Structure 1
Amino acid sequence: MYVGIDVGTSLVKAAAFDRDGRQLAVETRPVALEMRGGVVEQDMHAVYGAVLAVLEAVTARVPEPVELAGLTGQGDGVWLVDAAGRPVRPALSWMDGRAGALVDGWLADGTFEALFRRTGAALFPGCPGPLLAWLDRHEPASLDAAAAAVCCKDMVFQRLTGAGRAVTDVSDASMPFLDPRTRSYDEEALALLGLAHRRRLLPEVADPVATGRALGAGLPAGTPLASGPYDLPACALGAGVRAPGDGLLIVGTCLASLVAADRPALAGEPAGLSISTDRAGHWLRAMPAMVGTAALDWVLATTGTRHRDLDDLLTATPPGAHGVRVLPYFAPSGERAPFVAPGLRAELLGVCLESTPADLVRATCEGIGYAARHCLEAAGLTGPLAVCGGGTRSPAWTRLLADVLGRPLRVVEGEVGARGAVLAAAERHGVPLDAAAWTRPARTVEPDPDRAAYHAEGYAEHLELLAAARERARR
């Protein structure tokens, strides 16, 4: 048995696979986010407890010895830990918006662009740079007390293995301090954000991922374990996205668009990031929009409808949702890809007394699709496109996405991030697995030509509405 652990933002998962990549069992546990006035935090004790719970449950269900485990999880945010990997304070989530004013200032004074030209990383309020700078100004005692500022999976890895020091991988280190050309920290990037005096908090970078053996909590003692890449590149690895130009769309809490590249992107409009991967000379041009299924969750809850009704709701109203349009920028920290706008907020347009819940739901799904198309174009998609994530469990929404994007979708099912984490661990620990078999898509969904043509016009309208909304957000 091979176990993949995916420590998500709202759900912690552990999946068991056999040698041929067949998914044998999955266990999940929810984890809470505390949101208040743009502040979004998570209890690290609860997150780690959920990891142990899913591991114990999945290994109990599949009575085979665990040969190997791989770990991935949500990226960005700041998880301050002591020397043993235990929390100094609650984790600051990647969804946190408290550093928005800092990012606005860096956008205005040129720091934002200067950093992007060095590292290929476009700052957003919930990434480590702005959050560390905010803590340095408003909560310096927390930084003084911490041994390291890590990402989610790094905390879990240190606790599972008892590692004597904090360590991260090249993918999580890519935002925002890693030079993608040298795969090491850029000291000038730290200085640009006024954080040179906090250099000691950056964890060691294991290139490409950290390896160790489990102590015995959750996993049998001695189990080989690897940590990384984080969830976005882990999904790309689990979906078989390797050749330059090939892409992946993850329809999850975060709407993430990834395109494989043979060089980092340091030119053009500063947005997204170039993620260093498990292979030198290979990057993922990432455009991780802030809100994906989270936007739909909000609309379903607000309209009093349910997730299980999504397919019926999408077929109850035609393309265009009777004129209702949704700009799906619901995150309290604004948007980060394929542009950065901390002040941008969602807009619902064309709503009247005749509008139905189905109209609002369909318009939201179409708006998310348009946002994905914008991100994929900016990331340079030229090859086949794979899709995964919770949103693809809806056949109707998957067909809608194919129409909105105007291209075939290779649907990869199951726990794709966990699958990628196992493949990364196998490579590092020298365990031979058939990557082609592990990453084979379940099916391909073709776009309808007429609906695709209709949505091409809808996409042009979306860009016009977005331009006006961005202008209002700047005032």
Structure 2
Amino acid sequence: MTGPLFLGIDAGQTTVKAVVHDDRLRPVATGRRSSPVHHPRPRFAERTQDELWASAAGAIADAVAQVDASRITAIGISGHGDGLHLVDDDGEPASPAITAMDGRAFREWQRITGDADRAKTILEVSGQQAPLGGAGPLLAWMREHDPDATERAAHLIWCKDVLRLRLVGGDPETDLSDATASFLDMRRGQWSREVLEAYDLGWAERLLPPLRRSADIAGAVTADAAAATGLAEGTPVVVGLHDVQASAIGSAALVPGRLSLIAGSFSTNGVTTTGDEVDPRWQCRVSIRPDLRVAMSTSPTASPALEWAVRVLGGGAHDARDALFDEAAALEPDADTPAMLPYLLGSPLGDAPTAAFAGIRAGHGRGHVFRGVLEGIVCMHVWHTRALATSYDWNGPIRLGGGISRSPLYVQMVADAMGQPVSVVRGDEVGAFGAAAVAALGAGHFASIDEAQELVELADPVAPRVELAGHWQRIIARFDALNDSLAPWWIENA
């Protein structure tokens, strides 16, 4: 095999994947490493930046060992958004690698969102309500509880920027797709002093890094990085992008009017648009294409709920996940199942809601309970897309990605609940595809990101079962009613 290769690195909340692609973005080698998240105190979700890099370096080394490293023409990185990563003047860590699932700054978040004027400024200028696990509340928390870290810090960057800095050195910088999650004026594409002041973070302006385009070449692999990963020294590395937008590219969804659902660490539901409508229920974020934005409504209600259910119901068996899916699939499509609210790590309804079951009966087995969990996760897609539908339209089959989408049962459930056809990408690693596509764009292999998206291979759409429309209407109505019923209890017990 000859021709250029492109490496896409996708660093999520819990796993780092490195996938080498050929010149038509077909995967030829893959490496995967766990990136464990520590919870040293309630609401904390972090790791060290060194641990993040070690996971990435291991995944890269595993993938690169399967190919001729000299053929890798360019490298792209996608990383989870939000969270907080501070580095000093030398690019050394000044804070942990705090993930977007972190909730330590809930009091700061309450103070910000509880001030109507400040909250309005943040929403209207940045395109989103202050995210609990975002840079604004977390910086405010850090200033109060670890002032030494904010004094040492010289730059605020994001997950993918940490990894790129380890690969190429140089000065910290970021791209618009990550910057738009914090203090960016989303219409002008520039840092906003007004948003900083609304967060009461005017002092942090010195931390904001230079803004680059995602496909710009940021530097080349250093000798140290080459030794750690097996990459060839001097290989170009592009700036990179937020993993949600990388996944949109990998799902051929970075097209106006296309809806993409991702069931990963977060339930991420985004529609690509030329509009700039804002609402507290979604984030209107700048795309890697300046003429497009991604309006996305999200919550940490997908794989955290699934993995919890596998752990609790599976009893530690190595095949527990497959067995539970099989038991859930063996039930009749309209089986009586318990309702589940999947708010183990948070919800889109505020910081008070917690997870809950209702309607468990003596005749229910673990298959019923597990299917109820899946239905709860599906209902979150419905909740988020109903919000988006108040301002945005979409067309064509819905794109579905994320780890849970590998289950045919889940794909069919999403189609039934949404009442629309659903297409799943044939490849497993859509984020790594998107990162590699941007690398190939930066290297001049593609003239546009649209050209790369034309190479995405989709499975045949899964159609909704019309005969189950009434059943899913009842499930969704029950889900909504449970939210309404528990609201006073959540507030009283927050």
Deviation at 1:33, TM superposition (A): 0.7
Q: Which moved more, 1:425-434 or 1:321-330?
A: 425-434
Deviation at 1:208, TM superposition (A): 4.2
Q: Hey, what does 2:400 align to over in structure 1?
A: 387
Q: Hey, what does 2:379 align to over in structure 1?
A: 370
Q: Which moved more, 1:462-471 or 1:250-259?
A: 462-471
Q: Hey, what does 2:272 align to over in structure 1?
A: 260
- Counterpart of 1:411 (choices 397, 407, 424) is 424
- Residues 88-237 of structure 1 mapped to structure 2, 5 A cutoff: 88-110=94-116, 111-163=118-170, 165-211=171-217, 212-216=219-223, 217=225, 218=229, 219-237=231-249
> If the length of structure 1 is used for normalisation, what is the TM-score?
0.94
Native 8 Å contact 1:25 1:61 kept in 2: yes
- Counterpart of 1:346 (choices 338, 343, 355) is 355
Q: Deviations over 1:229-266 (max 9, x none)?
A: 21001100111113322111111111111100102223
- Counterpart of 1:11 (choices 15, 21, 28) is 15
Letter in 2 for 1:31: S
Native 8 Å contact 1:6 1:72 kept in 2: yes
Separation of aligned partners in 2, 1:426 and 1:474: 50
Separation of aligned partners in 1, 2:254 and 2:101: 28
Separation of aligned partners in 1, 2:429 and 2:393: 24
> If the length of structure 2 is used for normalisation, what is the TM-score?
0.90
- Counterpart of 1:29 (choices 33, 39, 53) is 33
CA RMSD in angstroms comes to 1.8
- Counterpart of 1:316 (choices 325, 330, 337) is 330
- Counterpart of 1:292 (choices 293, 302, 314) is 302
Q: 1:320 to 1:38 in 2, by over 3 A?
A: farther
Q: Hey, what does 1:55 align to over in structure 2?
A: 60
Q: 1:197 to 1:409 in 2, by over 3 A?
A: same
Deviation at 1:148, TM superposition (A): 1.3
Where does the alignment leave 5 or more consecutive residues of structure 2 unmatched? Answer: none
2:464 corresponds to 1:447 = yes
Q: 1:113 to 1:351 in 2, by over 3 A?
A: farther
Where does the alignment leave 5 or more consecutive residues of structure 1 unmatched? Answer: none
Deviation at 1:399, TM superposition (A): 1.4
Deviation at 1:180, TM superposition (A): 1.1
Deviation at 1:467, TM superposition (A): 2.8
Native 8 Å contact 1:86 1:155 kept in 2: no
Native 8 Å contact 1:290 1:335 kept in 2: yes
Q: Secondary structure at the match of 1:38?
A: coil
Q: Which moved more, 1:104-113 or 1:150-159?
A: 104-113
Separation of aligned partners in 2, 1:304 and 1:436: 38
What fraction of aligned residue pairs are identical, expressed as a percent?
A: 28
Q: Which moved more, 1:116-125 or 1:313-322?
A: 313-322
Native 8 Å contact 2:340 2:372 kept in 1: yes
Separation of aligned partners in 2, 1:274 and 1:454: 33
Q: How many residues align?
A: 467
Q: Deviations over 1:297-356 (max 9, x none)?
A: 10121112511224312223334652410011110xx224xxx40111111111233321
Q: Deviations over 1:356-414 (max 9, x none)?
A: 11111101101111111111222235213111111011111211221122211110132
Q: Deviations over 1:104-141 (max 9, x none)?
A: 22232212233101211121221110000111111111
Q: Secondary structure at the match of 2:288?
A: coil
Q: Which moved more, 1:300-309 or 1:138-147?
A: 300-309
Native 8 Å contact 1:100 1:342 kept in 2: yes
Native 8 Å contact 1:88 1:145 kept in 2: yes
